[in-house]
Structure 1
Amino acid sequence: MSDNVHPLRTVHVGTRRAEVDEMLAPVIDLLWRNGFNTLTSCQDAGESNASWVDILPHMSAYVEARRGWAFIDFPLDDGLSLLTALADAGPRDAFYARMTHWAAPDAWDVKVRPRDVAMSAWPQPSKFVIRLLQVCFPVTDLPEIERRLRRHQTGESVAPAPIDWTTVGRSHPEPVSFAPTPAARASAAAPVLRATESSGRTWDDLDPETLADLLAGLDRTHRHLIVERLDLAPRDQHYLQVYRNDDRSFQVEFREGGEDRHYCAYLPPQPETASVDVMLDIVTGWATDRPAWRDTLQWFPWRT
């Protein structure tokens, strides 16, 4: 309901060119360079809409609440991809909590709002569609958004880890420290193992070569392999699972006797043979009680 109130800067990337609010210009530039399409944006929704109050007094609370808050509108898929990129390009810290949790201080306001096509062409019959996703955030988050977009542009990502929920009243999980595993006695019998593929096929007392083949065969169709220790009690409570993600990273879990002794770790994407070698070392170390087998990865309690 008013002309643009903020200074403008020209953003020009390839064939895209637009005049945008100067505070948002660096972010819009990075978004375009990363392939994200944008629609409209504003560096301070409260300032831009202050004139509404003269005509619509009930909007005063909205205007005051949006001072110091910027927004960017995206086509739906671009908006979702942008949120994913920001989450992957940094730690799951207080910034991540603001992005994702409604109760965090200064929590982002992310909206997907249906729109009736008749609103812009009244003779048409009503039909509601979803065309955009709006991301509204405090302007104090602009520097971190820029940092994460630069990391995304260079292909950097941060390995998944437990989320720091301290700003919403939850404790921050710490990595687990394990006591050194004693060396197995030479006279000890070899553990009894059973490996189960995602197809349900099982292998008993498999040799390292077969285990390596099973790990190398994990793909988008056959994603996981479970290896059980059948010589330990209680049954079904001593196992290790390897899960292959779409980006060729791996999630690893192991349980040592019960739900309170269940741990998980993450192996970032690596060359195919390197990933198999690391996984084989972890699985064989776990299966044979090899000292320090846990030291390869950082482990956290499962579902903290």
Structure 2
Amino acid sequence: MAVFTPVSDDDARQLLKQYNLGELVSLRGISAGIENTNYFLNTTQGEYILTLFEVLTHEQLPFYIELMHHLASAGQLVPEPQTGLNGQRITTLHNKPCSIVTKLEGGYEPEPSSEHCRQAATAMARMHLAAQDFPIRQDNLRGLSWWQSNAPKVLPFLSPEQADLLQSVLSEQSNYAQTEQYLSLPRGPSHCDLFRDNVLFAGTHENPQLGGFIDFYFAGCDTWIFDIAVGVNDWCIDRLTGALQIEKAQAWLSAYAQVRPYTDAERAAWPIIIQAAALRFWISRLYDFHLPRPAQTLKPHDPRHFERVLQQRRQFGVPALP
């Protein structure tokens, strides 16, 4: 973990007194993740995840927690935040905001098949539609304004060729965001970080069963086509080269469209938006790699991966939306 806050069994027992979730059975830390401290929390009533938020504040959390609650209440496969005896879904432990959510079934699939892509895309489309009436609005905090603010901070670490690529794409995205076409794109609450390790599957590789989406703490209101692009750029590629695997990409794009058909504006925007999704993670990985937080102990991801993804999208394009 990036920042780890120890939680003892006694801490957990005291915390559970604020809920109606039974008595503590076991507590075990989860090693994955770079933003928050997570524990598997098992009680006499069920299995849960305890999260202590190391970066997000009490004031910032309601969008994420209430979005999950809204989606779970609508029947979507997402962790359901538990409500305390005081009616609140956010509390405090070790002077940090925390929450308890239900544990979903399954584990993440490191080598997804076309069937995994179809199931994830179908669930994403249903999630987008289910979130339309969510009343809290918050922009994607890692959107264009964040790229514009942080790109200058990482440029000193780049070669002239890399800096030219980053600045060129950022300029294109900044200009495109002012167009009528971009402003007409359907949008709403989105996951914005739906990598393969944020989706759980039960069953077997040959017969997967979607367990659900996790880690909503980069969610925000953005164009739905951007959310799709983030997914395709991780699920449907050769990890060594960043090249698209066309069969998987077509499976993803077609499955999504069966739930929510694309608009003409989305079809036109697709080639530039999928570059935006690559740029977002190239900049954030450059930032985490070269300017890590002081307490971060987990090795950051190699930023060159999304540089390759971006170059692939610019050189070879993408299959058209159905």
What TM-score comes out, normalization by structure 2 length? 0.29
What TM-score comes out, normalization by structure 1 length? 0.30
Give 1 or 2: higher strand fraction. 1
Give 1 or 2: higher helix fraction. 2
Relative contact order (C-alpha < 8 Å, sep 6+): which is higher? 2
